[in-house]
Structure 1
């Protein structure tokens, strides 16, 4: 396992290089590695990664509450790149117990954390426990409250295949803006979720996502009923931990 000094050096070395260069490094240095796929940033990474390795690992989280357009989009990406997408679903017993006790819309009353825990966090943790590293589409400007300090390479807050502190997270688009992401999508005809064309800047589960107005920050369309600044579901645990 690399030391923190190694990560500091990697972040310096790749700060002036292309995201594809960091992807190449990641894929060459880890056997058990996968791209986490859900949004526009992630499919940009898939587009870059398949040009480096045809059999690149890709996984996505099916919470059971996604928009119909998102399910169709996942299938479109699978066919477009001819890749296998490992679809992670919630534990059925845990999900059944949760909705039987609290109903289907409890998050409007007591917050989204518990529902996200059952539908997203636990399936993610199960997947990450099989990996040495994962690749995400996080950008610093996505959420000023929680993502402004993310690095290109860092140790993840979740345990990996070799236990706590062993999982490496790569964020190749850390320094990109939304405009750069969409420029890449247009330039290389990358498939994207049709909800983006209807004003959905950040897309999650259907009950918890809505379109944003002009000049609203993209994360304001997520869990809009909650009066809080940390718009995270918990998938990127280190973002919250690092903020105290």
Structure 2
């Protein structure tokens, strides 16, 4: 861990991902939700033709604007990305037992829905992966401020690399504009962090960036993918 962290020091995000791809050939993957951070990273990967798998999770409840961005991104870069869905039987069981909107009833129910629609498909997508690249930034939430660029995910037994962990929101927006990277149009409507449609709202000026995620809850705003 220390040796790998040292090797990555001083490298920009693209060079660091290139190094990881060389050290772990065929075992580096990037998970994108097509948010602004993820679009920056995808642009870096595809612009440099890095040998890194790109995949996304389709929970079945995404915004239409997210699907539109998937098409726009595919057209722009001419690069394929893998799509992982939740297990049909698990979704059917959840809806049969608790209905389609059980996540509004309790934190436990919401985490159960996230587990079925996100965590299980993610674990399947990460099978055989040695380095998982994510779009986490320290500014996004309090519990992400202590993260480092390179982390060890004990539960999944892999490295997690966060190339934008120390980027500011302004840096990210500047990159998107300078490189003319396609982005979700919901961002122009006050949506900063975009997840499933029933669980995401726009934020008001001055609100925390993740205030629009599971806004009816008072607990920490995580779905289980990153803790």
What TM-score results when the alignment is normalised by the length of structure 1? 0.87
1:90·1:123 contact (CA, 8 Å) conserved in 2? yes
Partner of residue 148 from structure 1, selected from 138, 145, 150: 145
- Report the 3-state secondary structure (helix = DSSP H, G, I; strand = E; otherwise coil) of the residue aligned with 1:218: coil
Distance 2:133 2:57 in 1: 14
1:201 and 2:197 matched: no
C-alpha separation in 1, matches of 2:197 and 2:190: 14
Which residue among 221, 227, 232 is the counterpart of 2:218? 227
State the partner residue of 2:57: 61
Q: Tell me by how many angstroms 1:185 deviates.
A: 0.2
Counterpart Cα distance in 2 of 1:213 and 1:95? 33
Structure 1 residue 195: Cα displacement: 0.5
Note the residue ranges of structure 1 that are not aligned, 5 or more in a row.
Answer: 160-164, 238-244
Residue of structure 2 equivalent to 1:240? none
Tell me the equivalent position of 1:21: 15
Aligned counterparts of 1:55 and 1:22: Cα–Cα separation in 2: 13
For residues 71 and 8 of structure 1, the distance between their equivalents in structure 2, rounded to whole angstroms, comes to 36
Q: Name 1:173's counterpart in structure 2.
A: 164
Q: Is 1:190 aligned with 2:181? A: yes
* The one of 24, 27, 50 aligned to 2:46: 50
- Partner deviation per Cα, 1:163-202 (whole Å, 9 max, x = no partner): xx2x111100010011111100000000000100110000
Match of 2:98 in 1: 102
Within 2, Cα distance between the matches of 1:193 and 1:52?
23
CA RMSD of aligned residues (A): 1.4
1:32 and 1:131 in contact (8 A); partners too:
yes
Kept after mapping to 2: 8 A contact 1:143/1:219 = yes
After TM superposition, the runs of 4+ consecutive aligned structure 1 residues lying more than 6 A away are: none
Post-superposition shift, 1:17?
A: 3.6
CA shift for structure 1 position 8: 4.5
The answer on whether the counterparts of 1:32 and 1:130 sit within 8 Å (CA) in structure 2 is yes
Residues 66-86 of structure 1: CA deviation (Å, up to 9, x unaligned): 001111111211221111110
The equivalent of 1:130 in structure 2 is 128
Q: Distance in 1 between matches of 2:122 and 2:47?
A: 26
Distance 2:16 2:51 in 1: 18
